[in-house]
Amino acid sequence: MKIPSRTDRLRRFLNPGTIAVVGASDRPGSLGLRTMQNLANFKGQVFPVSKRLKTLQGLRCYGTLADLPVSPDCVILAVPAAAVQEEVAAAAKKNAAGCIVFAAGYEEVGTEEGRAAQSRLVEAAQAAGMRLLGPNTTGFADFQSGARAGFAEFPGGLAGRDAGVAVVSQSGALGLALAQASLHGVALSHVMTCGNSADIDVADLVEYLASSVEAAAIALTFEGVSDPKKLVAAVDAAIQAGKGVSVCRIGRSATGAAAARWHTATEPHSGFDWDQRLARAGAVLVDQPEHLIETANFLAKTAGIERASNGGVAILSSSGGSAIHAADCLSAVGLDLAGYSESTRSHLVAALPAFGSPRNPCDLTAQATSDPDMMTTAAGILLQDPSVKALLLPWGKAWDSGRFGQLSDLAKHHAKPVCLIWMSQWLEGPGAAEAEAAPHLCVFRSAMSCATALAQLRR
């Protein structure tokens, strides 16, 4: 019999058919109950483990892991730190593929005891070939299978699409805050967090996602990993597999790095040239977490579209001021505005209102809000020009033009990125959800974030 590799174990663990919940509970607010509730729509089998309960949520409970009729793919330890070591040993004995440790109080507290306790967990798991997520983690979610293997709310889902953004975050709370983008319509395939990364780290998670059909792009944020080159290789592999990857590294400053050590016992490897290495692998680097998801979503929505071709960008807007700002942003990152052919220009003149500007930026004036087809028509004229390689649509007031689907179709038809820049400070106002729902229309809340992403893809 072939001995399963660590990678095989990881795949079985992260895409489980069977999940055991140790510490399953009916006590309101308990991690055990929250975890069980998260698994209500899991397509596989759930095995609650409880000494006290006979059944929970209609499922038979087992007194101990040893009593389970199967070797579980994923064991969730919703138990206090004092009980963790024993349960890890029990999971290993049951030949589980991997287990999740929520409990904190390990290496991140900075004491010798904490460090030693974490080492013992890892040794017990590794001796049995079992993978371990955590400790000090919120777990992971695969929205396709409904495996919300954690105690936190895991907002997400593919919103009717075949694929979406996979969020990978070392920090649990930050990952969940970012994943809440799904609550205004961003399609997510996975949310994966790894806390102290005693065994599984963000590199493992990215490597795993590289072969996931549902992950069209990966949004990665992390503080550090034990092996920087392994992470760069994982990012490289994901990009080779056709997944766009956006990365926001935190803990870059000395004070931030110190805080990372207390947070997840992470060494940020400040000496490693993260930016250069990740950029060379083809990742899109993002300075601020608030731009991470929109950038990954842009990569997901333009998967299969030529994003890296050199050449000009066209700006089309009903807000002249927003268009000027977009031109400033493109200039700041070294991207050129497209020059139009004579034919494009004359078609534009015919489509524009009296005082619109058939230049680049192309200003439709406020007339476009009384005639929503004007935007679609002008976008079509611009996208057919070979010198236009991408189209930016700085969007003024929050407004559902009813034409987002058409703009998305144009992006697909011309195989060029079309990015709507949501300038309104009514952040989820009318039209925001509708624009997000258009499969090939990319929505950014920052023109500079959009320009930065476009520029990096042309390296």
Cα separation, 104 vs 81, in Å, equals: 7
Interacting residue with its own copies among 64, 253, 276, 309 (CB under 8 A): 253
Residues 176-235 touching its own copies, rule: CB under 8 A, are 176-181, 183-184, 186, 221, 223
Question: Does residue 289 interact with its own copies by CB under 8 A?
Answer: yes
Stretch of residues binding its own copies (CB under 8 A), selected from 47-55, 69-77, 147-155, 232-240: 147-155
Question: Does residue 318 interact with its own copies by CB under 8 A?
Answer: yes
Least Å distance between CB 257 and its own copies?
Answer: 8
Least Å distance between CB 81 and its own copies?
Answer: 9
Interacting residue with its own copies among 46, 152, 391, 393 (CB under 8 A): 152
Cα separation, 319 vs 302, in Å, equals: 25
Least Å distance between CB 378 and its own copies?
Answer: 16
Interacting residue with its own copies among 112, 271, 354, 459 (CB under 8 A): 354
8 Å CB contact between 68 and 54: no
Question: Amino acid identity, residue 152?
Answer: A
Q: Return the ∠ at Cα 412 (arms to 407 and 415), rounded to 5°.
A: 120
Question: Does residue 252 interact with its own copies by CB under 8 A?
Answer: yes
Interacting residue with its own copies among 8, 290, 400, 434 (CB under 8 A): 290
Please say which residue, 165 or 237, places its beta carbon nearer to its own copies.
165
Least Å distance between CB 151 and its own copies?
Answer: 9
Question: Does residue 256 interact with its own copies by CB under 8 A?
Answer: yes
Residues 21-40 touching its own copies, rule: CB under 8 A, are 29
Least Å distance between CB 422 and its own copies?
Answer: 9
Least Å distance between CB 64 and its own copies?
Answer: 27
Interacting residue with its own copies among 94, 148, 243, 263 (CB under 8 A): 263
Strand 164-169 and strand 188-193: pairing?
parallel
Interacting residue with its own copies among 250, 281, 378, 391 (CB under 8 A): 250
8 Å CB contact between 78 and 102: yes
Stretch of residues binding its own copies (CB under 8 A), selected from 6-14, 36-44, 316-324, 408-416: 316-324
8 Å CB contact between 345 and 358: yes
Q: Give the residue from 439, 373, 435 showing the smallest Cα distance to 404.
A: 435
Least Å distance between CB 112 and its own copies?
Answer: 16
Question: Does residue 324 interact with its own copies by CB under 8 A?
Answer: yes
Q: Return the ∠ at Cα 276 (arms to 275 and 281), rounded to 5°.
A: 100
Stretch of residues binding its own copies (CB under 8 A), selected from 91-99, 225-233, 234-242, 284-292: 284-292
Question: Does residue 337 interact with its own copies by CB under 8 A?
Answer: yes
**8: which residues sit within 8 A by CB, 6+ positions away?**
none
Least Å distance between CB 405 and its own copies?
Answer: 23
**Prior bond of 361 cis (ω within 30°):** yes
Least Å distance between CB 13 and its own copies?
Answer: 23
Handedness of CA 119, 124, 130, 134 (dihedral sign): negative
Q: Give the residue from 53, 56, 22, 50 showing the smallest Cα distance to 37.
A: 56
Report how many residues bind its own copies under the rule CB under 8 A: 83
Question: Does residue 431 interact with its own copies by CB under 8 A?
Answer: no
Q: Give the residue from 133, 167, 166, 171 showing the smallest Cα distance to 266.
A: 171
Question: Does residue 425 interact with its own copies by CB under 8 A?
Answer: yes
Q: What is each CA distance from 165 to 143, 300, 456, in whole angstroms?
A: 11, 6, 19
Interacting residue with its own copies among 66, 127, 241, 366 (CB under 8 A): 366
Please say which residue, 127 or 427, places its beta carbon nearer to its own copies.
427
Return the axis-axis angle of helices 447-457 and 292-301, rounded to nearest 10°: 50
Question: Does residue 165 interact with its own copies by CB under 8 A?
Answer: no
Residue recorded with tokens 């106002």: 429
Q: Determine the length of the chain.
A: 459
Question: Does residue 173 interact with its own copies by CB under 8 A?
Answer: yes
Report DSSP state, residue 181. G
8 Å CB contact between 274 and 228: yes
Q: What is each CA distance from 229 to 273, 282, 284, in whole angstroms?
A: 10, 14, 17
Please say which residue, 255 or 310, places its beta carbon nearer to its own copies.
255
Question: Does residue 254 interact with its own copies by CB under 8 A?
Answer: yes
Cα separation, 429 vs 26, in Å, equals: 39
Residues 60-119 touching its own copies, rule: CB under 8 A, are 104-105, 108-109
Cα separation, 71 vs 19, in Å, equals: 9
8 Å CB contact between 77 and 22: yes
Please say which residue, 50 or 138, places its beta carbon nearer to its own copies.
138
